[in-house]
Amino acid sequence: MKQYTLLIGGEPVATSHHAAVANPSNGEIVGYMPLGSEADLDQAVAAATRAFKSWSRTSSEKRAAACRAVAEKINEHAEELAQLLTREQGKPLNGLGSRFEIGGALAWTRHTAELDLPIEVLQDDNEGRVELYRKPMGVVGSITPWNWPVMIACWHIVPAVRAGNTVVIKPSPLTPLSTIRLVEIINEVLPPGVVNVVTGENSIGAALSAHPGIAKMTFTGSTETGRKVMASAVATLKRLTLELGGNDAGIVLPDADPKAIIEGLFWGAFINNGQTCAALKRLYVHDSLYDEVCNGLADYASRIAVGDGLDEASILGPVQNEMQFNKVRELVDDARAHGGRILTGGVPMDRPGYFYPITLVADVDHGVRLVDEEQFGPALPIIRYSDIDEVIARANQNPAGLGGSVWSSDAEKAKRYALQLECGSVWINKHGTIQPNAPFGGVKQSGIGVEFGTEGLKEFTTIQTVLS
């Protein structure tokens, strides 16, 4: 079984210790992650610092061309990356699984390559000229999660590099192998040291976010860990982009057509087996449609094949890891104990691996953990309501504020209610459909800053104003 290496300054760096990475579908070993040390991290930051001197002075046109070349390399290795991703993450190859994720990584990379931040002339008159320059920051530290490891790595790396920065990335120890391979592929076209990868346990991430050689941290993951990243960045006043947890509310208005929205509701909640920050995690349905929506979702769920990700017939796979598997089970059990009605699922599947079925829980309300906490798995609470103004207020009571959605046959009316939701992104008659030209980020405890598009690219720059 392959022992992977770190990649620092364009060269593989072996480590003396490794950790096994297992397939969540069956427990089989996929490969061995190198356990980097703080000395390895120092070496990676030093390599990135050296590379920054020349990369930051490379023209915007050449950096754009380099990002296009990265996209073509991802495209060349798409199936290889998808197969490795499925084996370590668990998601199916088909549907909205690994091939979809690699396609998303490719789309974001191509879009970001075409972005630019030209000089802005703020004033040019007889009193003087004022120009605003966007300049790269230095070395960017990246910490990525286990749910969409390749695509989120591209979300972090590509805009940082496009803006003229260099990168040290530390992926989740649960899904490090596809990111290592991605960085190897990227290094086939970028200069040595522009993108480096150091893997290891969570202590390496803490050291990265505290490292004095890191100018900015970008982190995607839980709110709890985001607080730690923010705290460790204080000593050096690092810039931060934090995309943190969500507990997204979806509100079905009484004029919605249940038959037209069932598929969108389902995939809004269960894309990637519910293991998505901006998945629909609390569904509020008006009393007049409640039973029809519940029955429609249960019927749709019954037709979704859950199985090993390498089986081309599988539509959803396992929960990625034991901790998350146990949390989903615990939240569903708690909801059942507090009067929740299990429409489908509700108990672990009788097979090897971390398989938990699609679970719909009706007749729950605020005060039940499945409603109040982010489940991050294949379980959806469905909450009955009768007053729209009251339900919007209740949806906003949660400390998270990543995404939200309103479902209605009247899009303009839905938009009026959507604008009252306290979240960074809001969708009408869909949920979680992010795109590379639309800024994405959270409010409240769901994060700081935005990703994607020109606004996301700006997050990897500092402003210098020139007055003449």
Residues marked active site are found at 243, 277
Residues whose CB is less than 8 angstroms from the CB of residue 94 and which lie 6 or more positions away in sequence, other chains included: 312, 313, 314, 315
Give CA–CA dist 384/225, Å, rounded: 33
Give CA–CA dist 168/170, Å, rounded: 7
> Are 306 and 349 in contact, with CB atoms under 8 Å apart?
yes
- Residue 114 one-letter amino acid: E
Q: What is the dihedral of CA 254, 395, 222, 280, to 10 degrees?
A: 0
Q: What is the DSSP letter of 397?
A: T
Q: Is 184 left (phi over 0), alpha (psi -120 to 50) or beta?
A: alpha
Token pair, residue 80, equals 């290889």
Q: What is the dihedral of CA 220, 221, 225, 230, to 10 degrees?
A: 20
Q: Is the dihedral of CA 68, 73, 77, 82 positive or negative?
A: negative
Q: In Å, how far from its chain's centre is CA 311?
A: 25
Angstrom CA distances, 365 to 310, 343, 417, stand at 37, 16, 21
The closest of 399, 395, 455, 433 to 223, measured between CA atoms, is 399
Q: What is the DSSP letter of 303?
A: T
Element (H, E) at 325: helix 322-337
Q: Name the 3-class secondary structure at 295.
A: helix
Q: What is the dihedral of CA 78, 82, 83, 88, to 10 degrees?
A: 140
Look-up: residue for tokens 């679970």? 359
